[in-house]
A and B are shown apart, each in its own frame.
Chain A
């Protein structure tokens, strides 16, 4: 292995009850590359994303970020480490707090880490511009915007801490072609500017080929090659 900083799922095994969802899976995402993850439905792609996003503790194996092993999940992970990885999921409505305006939705992770309010406002404006949310849209709550607009807000939120790694789990599956291309373009630009590592999961083979630098197969519960 080279010394490029990377996000690594190392021999990760996850089971629910008696069912093994991931069986000693190893996937590595280098900074500066976009990896497409492909596999049949039910092969554990989404579980792998949750493990890499530090949302789910694997039964065996481990996740490491730039060589540092992480043995906790969620808020038990130190902020400096936790904010290195962000994830964007398929359904923005399921992910977004309906009581928050889009501005507050984007700002929330910054406020949670006690960022000064002036800096919060500056960063939120910068990101809302980046994802193309107009001032009018920013003041609205999720029910008053379209799925595409809400997903763009969720993308801004995911980028708010300038993560080194971004995981996209079918993040454009429910978007129309134009919004999908827009979201992908924003992520691509961010990835290049930040030299971030990006993982893209999609059922759409054409999208994966267009978007990824390389594609990894996650076949059933068998160990995946990287």
Chain B
């Protein structure tokens, strides 16, 4: 029986009272040795007996109809088994938490790069060769719109507002009106998307590179037109996701179809080029920030409008102004979004959707406002921290943003920041910048099962570990609750035959799957308390010993037969009554080459309050990784689309520039401030994976400005753009 729990009110901080003392500890991830020695099998690593290999074929028109797929163009090639296509094929991966099939376009082509067929052969090499040679004929549409800037199909909602922005802006003593643009980006996870499909009768087992199995199972079943009970998905290890593996993708459906038709397993691994072509990208954005303030720095008016793009039929629009809606208060607030419909690789969630790009603009605008006010940027922010979410009126469940700002300024040596353009070391201008960080926090329905045996425990959930540390933290929570050493807890993930969890996305995985694990273990504690004849609050469990009611007993004696509990958690009243978000402050020091415009980040500091930290080490890695993403968004990452066809031109990692090691400063510091969010979930945590990005890039760009006067409005700030901005600034 699953125990269901709704988060309707603040919960006691049980994890602060339990005896084991390992929640929060910076433990190594238990699966680490397997990963570095190649024994952790990712989706494509296992090749079942008799498996065939599939390679996806892309469309090479921007929009139109497939009029023929000439199978004879490849059928004579050695090793080729067949060509598959059909109405079940997916146009693109499902959006996160869709739970149903994404668009299945049949013989229509909606973007250049769309997967339209699968060539299957006895070897990968033969399949790839044939996929490149397959002759496809099309009827191409004329006048297809591929450029978001000029697209005519626009969707616009009424602005979201609070107060009267126009009046407040007009009444402001100091105003700022700026436009910023960010480039399209991709997740570029290390593991390319892959699937191995195997049928037994009418049941399908799919090994996939996926983040949200509970939803993926329904999406896959719906795509294939079979009952969800007939689908099992396995994804015990996932080599990075960052949103790109939230939904079931074309590779999985194609593999399943081919495997069914052939009566043998089929493995499909996307080439890196296909990952760029056909996996959901982050939309480019153009953003307009209008800020109005009093002379003393109090914000009167704040408006953040944006324009993003997506292909027709996708509901997702990059939520650019998400953080702008709650980070600072003002009398008048207004947020309007325009969505342009284009025939381009579809857009979806990429790590920190909204904040990752929206805060680049917001936090640069705040920096510009501080400059206009001749005020310290830290002070300006401190002056404008609201008590409540200014749009909804909800009180914040927990916020230490002010502490993060102060502590960060202190630790970074912010007081030594020099006036703009005045610090020069040889050919390099040097400067400092800062930005706030915010990323809203969620709890998503999740279940987990915990089994306690005589000498250890097992946690089972279909939750995934996409490199984030789920194995580590769920083991720590269970061990903490049951008084075991972590080595005594085995965590089993990534299998839809286990209880369904939130999956990894939106930074809510640890909150959600962690709470479910906690609750299942708590149910076991209740049973143990009963056996000890004491109340739950009297019970302590530590190092395999139960104590309570003046008794002491080894767990091994208390648990003769395995105890099994399953629990499920879901959001409740607290998500209405309170607003939960992670907060932090980023600081950066950069050097800008006075001649070449190259930017080198010298050091970065992130001070973050993100609820209870479950594992200090994996949390730090998440925060660091996020900050590096911020660096990439600010300085290097840009996906280029062909202006005519809309197709992705930067289709590999030599052309799409994620930061290299040399871009990342040796001096990267993350500081966590102690925090508990009682309203968020029963374990008082907040999401971690995305806060590190949010604002980090803006700190860097603000430092560039402080260094040399260049303000780059078109991101990333590559050397050419920095030079243009330096010339505009006369430095």
A and B found bound together: no
Partner-A contacts on B (CB < 8 A): none
